[in-house]
Chain A
Amino acid sequence: MRRRHGWLAGLLLAAAACSRGPKLANEVVAVETAQLPAGPDDRAWSGAPLHRAGLLPQDLVEPRVLTPTTAEVAVQALTNGAEIAFRLEWPDDAADDTPGPARMVDACAVQLPEKSGPDLPEPQMGQEGRAVQIAYWRADWQAWVDGRGDSIRDLYPNAAIDHYPFEAKPLEPGSAARQEMERLYSPAMASGNRRAGPRKSPVESLLAAGPGTLSPAPNQDAGGRGVFQNSRWSVVIRRPLPQGLGRDQRTHVAFAVWQGSKQESGARKMRTGWIPLVRRAGS
């Protein structure tokens, strides 16, 4: 039985080798292009070399991941000279895009050193005096951007709600007084926490100078889009090209992936170390 299937496996391997997928690279190669693709399904990605980045459990600071989950993330990159777009793809059994108690969401992130150079910051969130820039995509933010509402009934269709005090008369719908009162009942929003929304992009620009120091970047200049298909996430994260990264020059990049169904969130993540990132001319 095993022998009869041997020829079939050989044929499949040969077919795979001859397929016209992107060529493999042992570093992340950002290929120059006139226009950056908006989504992960754009044809432009077929011209970008693919780097298979092995993922390590975050086991440097508590809480640590001791059991590996996502094994690798497939990375491609394109640049138009002003911005750089990364395409990240990884397998996931299900799309976890609904937040809630003990409901974590799928996510990924791209990290670059704030300053390019040989003296790299620690790959795990940078270090004091040597910050890192992070562009962070989340599946629940993607769902909101794609049109899902953010009320409790959008998350739990059968939820019964008696009453919100700010929706009672005499406060009129849409009035400033009503919005102000609603804000008071949302302390994170009232505190100006960007995490609380409202959100127009599924990607947030962040800065960090060591574990536990993550904070929103002053310029929210990252964007992107993620799609879940055939038990795989494909996510494009776009951000400004690192300053001074000319053609054939190198800097470094690191990636992280969170699987919501594995209760991954915050420090509980799969991550890479620093990977060389080089800019090349398009063909």
Chain B
Amino acid sequence: MARVFNWQIGREMSYWYPEARPQRQFAAVFDINKCIACQTCTLACKTTWTSGKGQEYMLWNNVETKPYGSYPLAYDVKLLEMLGGQEWEGGRYAGRTLFEAAPAGERVLGWRPGHEDYSYPNTGEDDCAGQVDHGEYLSLPHAQWFFYLARICNHCTYPACLASCPRGSIYKRPEDGVVLVDQGRCRGYQECVRGCPYKKVFYNPLTGTSEKCIACFPKLEQGIQPQCFVNCIGKIRLAGFISTPDKARPENPIDYLVHIRKVALPLFPQFGLEPNVYYIPPIHAPESFNRQVFGPGAAQAVKAYREAARDADLAGLLCLFGSTEMVVSRFRRQGETVIGTDEKGAEVVRVPLREPVVVRPARDPRTQLVRINCP
């Protein structure tokens, strides 16, 4: 194994291959606080990519309710239990990553879900963490809570699927860091299914190969965000490219949210894959839960997000979520207007920081009649 640097865990770690970061890395920020689990993203992906034979059970994009939901069943808690204690010392992970915890003879600590584990994608949907007792009232964080976790492939910097494949059928594109299964080379050993902790590689029993989210790379190549992003009616998603922390650019929306304001965090950073989908954690969930799922920065991220109303730049950037189908490479705020530009600097979107509010008086001054809201 090689030694590589993983900035998300604040230290070097062991990985199957030497560090080879792409020229730029596809990344995304999902604002959990805005997700309503309408599953439009799930269907947008399903109808675009996995409507074929042998793909029936696959959800490259899914939305699960936390704490009890998971797809496939218990994908996260099972592995967390296998991994054992996961201690952080400040921003440095003191426990073992999945590569460091690999048992003898294995490349990664992993497990392979059975077909029954994929059969209940809605398990735990809308289930509250506990009973809402008489006399309880609303406070932050909520005494009883749940939230929706939308998930796609994390297009990790250190993918466990890629490390697991004994025949090198999985590769990470140097131009954008998108992780792909070579459909011409894969022989369906399902080692990647076993290795990916997020269980975002799926075995197709009819073609005998494994398949996964491709970050809609044909769209990405044209500067357009993926299907699950542009179809999100809650406007919770923003796609772009992330830099390493030392090269963070404040005008890059992803860099600003992840590195500058530290409001968006990776999913289970302790696994050691350096995943590239970042989440603005739920402000109403307990800090201990957020910390286990999103790492030690969770409390600070919640604090920064709650202050966004008084932070014009952060609030402005959040307004760009779901505002355009184009990838926004740079953003800037001019007073009450937020402007997004593409890679070449051309303006692709302009939105007001605050939507104009128009109040229509209940009484029509012309007719002196009371207006009613019937069609």
Contact = CB atoms under 8 A, between A and B. Distances in A.
Contacts of B183: 187-188, 190-191, 193
Max chain A Cβ within 10 angstroms of own Cβ: one of B56, B166, B168, B207: B207
A101 interface: yes
Give the secondary structure class of A's interface: loop
A193 B117 CA distance: 28
Interface in B45-87: 47, 51-57
B200 to A, nearest CB: 13
Given A186-B54, A211-B166, A101 B184 contact: no
Of A98, A151, A159, A195, most B-chain CB atoms within 10 Å: A195
A161 B50 CA distance: 13
Contacts of A190: 183
A266 B166 contact: yes
Interface stretch (A61-69, A78-86, A127-135, A247-255): A61-69
Contacts of A182: 52-53
B205 interface: yes
B206 A150 contact: yes
A192 interface: yes
B167 interface: yes
Interface in B86-112: 104-107, 112
Contacts of A189: 207
A80 to B, nearest CB: 31
B115 interface: yes
Interface residues of A, number: 47
Interface residues of B, number: 42
A266 to B, nearest CB: 3
Interface in B140-196: 164, 166-168, 182-191, 193
B56 A266 contact: no
A101 B112 contact: yes
B88 to A, nearest CB: 29
A99 B203 CA distance: 9
A104 B166 contact: no
B167 A212 contact: yes
Interface of A: 59, 61-66, 98-104, 150-152, 155-156, 159, 161, 163-166, 182, 185-193, 195-197, 211-214, 263, 265-268
- 7 tightest A-B CB contacts, nearest first: A185-B52, A266-B189, A64-B105, A191-B184, A188-B207, A196-B207, A188-B209
